[in-house]
């Protein structure tokens, strides 16, 4: 992150803030390797909060220069034009991903809007804020597909897909995740949107010990699989994903659909296509969803993979 890269970042943020998006958006996706010198940095506009995240430790002088540049934003006309509340710098390369408020009054929770739906984010206290912005088109696809359907949302996290499904008219959504705190936030997100919680279930269980329960609550017209690449003690993508795929034919309705996702940049879409063909050959590939343009990647196979399959 040399001086030229910092100058590029400064100019880009000034331009972005001068016409700040009406909804939450990524402003700079360095990890897509389209911004030389900024490969380990991202910047997100959270409707009043600018969140800058570093994924690799820079030299002390580089970090000091970055902070100074970000502080200078607070004196710019673009910053005032954006009506920004604050600026948060997160060091993702350190344990617990500590964050520092460089500008504005610290806030631990922050409401945002995406595609007309409302979510509550955690700022400065957790590694992830509570909504993965690269999955924006995936949530929109689920909302468009959900009318009258029973939906199973695996690895539900804070239930972004569930919120989208209920908004799209799903008859029932079952969310499963081991992290009960995340599911609690999922309930909060549904309440923010004034959803009928009688149509939503929250199961804080280990997926691999819950197949019987999930089968009793099914079958499902749509299953969403959006796992972490690695979660210590519970999920390793390359080893455990096929175990999930093998269960799909029994959980789906006759013509049910699956949205299967991989977010590991080292694993391309061919892995998922082959794993599905081996584990559930009755499901045919339909399409790969596009990623939002702000998440451009020099190698499309390294970007988020969100693949649609259909049974029958």
What is the rounded CA–CA span in Å between residue 186 and residue 199? 13
Radius of gyration of the chain (CA): 20
84-97: string of b/e by CB count within 10 Å (b at 16+)? bebbbbbbbeeeeb
3-107 shares its CATH topology with 133-311: no
State which CATH number among 3.10.580.10, 3.40.50.1970, 3.40.50.150, 3.40.50.1470 fits the domain covering 133-311.
3.40.50.150
pTM > 0.85: yes
pLDDT digits (tens, 9 = 90+) for 170-192: 999 999 999 999 999 999 999 99
pLDDT(144) > 80: yes
Percent of the chain's residues with pLDDT above 90: 93
Stronger pLDDT, 233 or 272, i.e. the higher one:
272
- What are the boundaries of each domain within the chain? 3-107, 133-311
Residue 79 has pLDDT above 80, yes or no: yes
Q: Specify the CATH class of 3-107 in words.
A: alpha beta
- pLDDT at position 231 over 70: no
Residue 95 pLDDT grade (very low, low, confident, very high; cuts 50, 70, 90): confident
**Res 233 pLDDT > 80:** no
pLDDT of 202 > 90? The answer is yes
């Amino acid at each position: 992150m040399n001086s030229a890269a910092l100058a590029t970042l400064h100019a880009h943020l000034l331009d972005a803030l001068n016409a700040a998006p009406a909804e939450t958006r990524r402003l700079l996706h360095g990890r897509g390797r389209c911004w030389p010198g900024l490969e380990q940095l991202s910047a997100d506009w959270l409707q009043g909060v600018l969140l800058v995240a570093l994924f690799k430790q820079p030299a002390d002088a580089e970090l000091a220069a970055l902070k100074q540049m970000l502080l200078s934003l607070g004196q710019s006309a673009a910053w005032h034009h954006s009506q920004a509340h604050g600026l948060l710098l997160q060091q993702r390369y350190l344990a617990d991903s500590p964050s520092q408020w460089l500008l504005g009054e610290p806030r631990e929770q922050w409401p945002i809007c995406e595609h007309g739906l409302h979510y509550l984010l955690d700022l400065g206290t957790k590694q992830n804020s509570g909504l993965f912005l690269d999955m924006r088109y995936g949530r929109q696809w689920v909302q468009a597909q959900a009318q009258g359907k029973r939906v199973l949302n695996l690895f539900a996290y804070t239930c972004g897909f569930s919120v989208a499904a209920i908004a799209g008219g799903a008859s029932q959504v079952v969310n499963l995740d081991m992290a009960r705190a995340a599911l609690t936030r999922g309930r909060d997100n549904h309440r923010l949107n004034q959803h009928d919680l009688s149509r939503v279930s929250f199961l804080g269980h280990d997926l691999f010990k819950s197949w019987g329960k999930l089968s009793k609550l099914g079958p499902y017209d749509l299953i969403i699989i959006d796992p972490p690449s690695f979660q210590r003690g519970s999920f390793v993508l390359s080893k455990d994903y096929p175990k999930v795929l093998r269960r799909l034919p029994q959980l789906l309705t006759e013509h049910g659909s699956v949205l299967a996702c991989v977010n590991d940049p080292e694993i391309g879409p061919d892995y998922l296509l082959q794993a599905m063909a081996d584990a559930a050959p009755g499901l045919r590939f339909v399409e790969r969803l596009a990623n939002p343009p702000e998440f451009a990647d020099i190698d499309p196979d390294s970007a988020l993979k969100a693949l649609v399959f259909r049974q029958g």
